[in-house]
Structure 1
């Protein structure tokens, strides 16, 4: 697609004529589950994945969302996300598959570390990464949930802890997947699992025309300055280029985070020439620019792990999932993928039945942490200068396709990714393996 306005299909998933499609299709609730229902706060990927999975398992769910589907579609760019193979597999199992345009499916990625000469290689994966503007994807999931008989309550503003407590009186369990006020009030920072108390990068994400590279992910590192990522993304205007600048605070990439939307394109063009020359080579200077002021996101993220369980005045508990529990810097593209994985784990725990007390919450959180711990460690490692053995691995990848492919595959398997980057011995094994 060329970036012009395009009519996009809302879904390539299944249609369900019944108000309770899972029962009509023979998928019954787990034996013994009789509940007044689960309340889920937040309609991001974690909350929606959890809602859809519980609905599939026959569990009564009410989803509390700040916005309806129409408001989601018309809002500002919320992020730039690549969903990995395991996440896409869960979506297929849910029957919620959307926007599978070949132009936004990335089977290859090029890594370039600035230097003289630069260190560069291209890796390939079996299951392509998939990038869709969440202003399209999340409303499609919300429509799936509601269309299958799910209950959605739309509120005008972010709920606080008192509102979550009031909602809890009608449910056996509250799960909080998003919400600025409720998250801060209910789930304090877990200092033992949160090594940073401030942002390690300043972020600028945007959608651009005039930077055509096809279905290729581009990962550019400017040592001591930060990172610049480009990927093709399905948007409201067809497939366009999303660019994320991760600036080390105080460094030469940071000023773009303060640039007004009308100037961001020009500022980014200058930064690409200096810090990501491979991207600059593919830029059409006459056409390059931000799609529009709503297609820009500027800010910063403090990596944090919060306490996962809150006991409410109602006597119920609230369980945190997704960004409400673990917020990682988007440097390794793991946020949405981890949120989806933990939502799936939480759904299985909930569907197994209660009582949904503090012991249940701690047990569910422990299972989720088995998935989240290596992802968090892996991402935090990327926020620091790479260790010598990691640079050795990247150097070998520049000359061996099998190692280049393995390095790229680590982003789809961050548990093994952490096992590699944390272990000189594992890197030595990979480097010495000629098979």
Structure 2
């Protein structure tokens, strides 16, 4: 490759997967990030992410398989929908999921990239569009995977693909002691109240429980998104007992607590799709990937998996050769949207009460193991998930027993 290769802004899973893959393919790459690996290790909890078997396969192919503790490898998931009687079922993902604190995982990826000869430039601050333009003068293409200021300035919101102008859930995520160990992912739904997820996660203190609260604004769980860290655990216990009884059964009340003040994340996300291609004043192009392109609510657990998949798509396109012009960027974005579109439509659907045919599928999963496996397996295959959940006819074929999906499409 002529010139100075590719510049990547952002050291999350999208940016680092892209950097490691380009490095593997022999493409010169420079990674720009706000903080170094040690700063990230000491920082606040950034998320509680579950990575699918397909994402783990990509990491293994990169030679960057880290923190695969057996206690945090989940092959099954249990869904519990509050009601009288409750709807419950357990199914298989098909391939094991893993959850690892990104304060461990992302620095490990950064170390891999640097130890293999990659260049990392630490900016110390969130870059703006002007900074991205200055960096671009050293490169043939800039790929932007993160950066609050630069993303907003370079890639405007696409109103046709962004139906929400405000968060649909208020969020809290934390790492907790005091829950009985389980390698089953727990998905708990309380209609009109919100969703609670529990998963084993590899932390700095070993395998603990990662809990995500998706609170409907104005509902009883909203308070958890505002409380000080040392009041969260006590406030959750009565809410679990009332709204997510299956989760409450796993709590050891006298031991239930957050690991510490930096192990809690509170906030909200407005689901947003951005126009992913920008021409910089330098004449170079900037292409958005990951959350810089598509930011979805974490309800369907697809953020990191979509970021990894899109990074792989873009890496292979770059390695095939330029010119890295507007046409190249538009083609790469279109290929990413083939995966990102179904994830976005599916997640936006699940932020609303379930459609009649989706409820029919869930009810069937409560009485038939084959349908339960279909339902849980959707999380490993978002393209198929949307093709099924958007079609009452496809759901009927599954429920009536004459259609079985495959889970190897992503």
TM-score (normalizing by structure 2): 0.97
* Alignment-derived partner of residue 21 in structure 1: none
Identify the match of residue 375 of structure 1 among 332, 339, 343.
343
Q: Distance in 1 between matches of 2:30 and 2:329?
A: 19
Identify the match of residue 141 of structure 2 among 157, 164, 173.
173
Alignment of 1:199-348 (within 5 A): 199-348=167-316
1:106 aligns with 2:46: no
Displacement of 1:125 after TM fit? Answer: 2.6
Q: What secondary structure is seen at the aligned counterpart in 1 of 2:316?
A: helix
Q: Distance in 2 between matches of 1:73 and 1:395?
A: 43
* Residues 317, 357 of structure 1: 8 Å contact kept: yes
Structure 1 moving runs of 4+ over 3 Å: none
TM-score (normalizing by structure 1): 0.92
* Residues 176, 319 of structure 1: 8 Å contact kept: yes
* Residues 193, 216 of structure 2: 8 Å contact kept: yes
* Alignment-derived partner of residue 388 in structure 2: 420
* Alignment-derived partner of residue 407 in structure 2: none
Q: What secondary structure is seen at the aligned counterpart in 2 of 1:211?
A: coil
Displacement of 1:34 after TM fit? Answer: 2.8
Unpaired segments of 5 or more residues in structure 1? 1-32
Q: Distance in 1 between matches of 2:373 and 2:180?
A: 23
Aligned residues: 403
Q: Distance in 2 between matches of 1:416 and 1:107?
A: 19
1:149 aligns with 2:117: yes
Displacement of 1:126 after TM fit? Answer: 2.7
1:196 aligns with 2:160: no
Identify the match of residue 72 of structure 1 among 34, 40, 45.
40
1:95 aligns with 2:95: no
1:128 aligns with 2:79: no
Q: Distance in 2 between matches of 1:326 and 1:212?
A: 35
Displacement of 1:124 after TM fit? Answer: 1.5
Backbone CA RMSD of aligned residues = 0.9
* Residues 210, 288 of structure 1: 8 Å contact kept: yes
Q: What secondary structure is seen at the aligned counterpart in 2 of 1:313?
A: coil
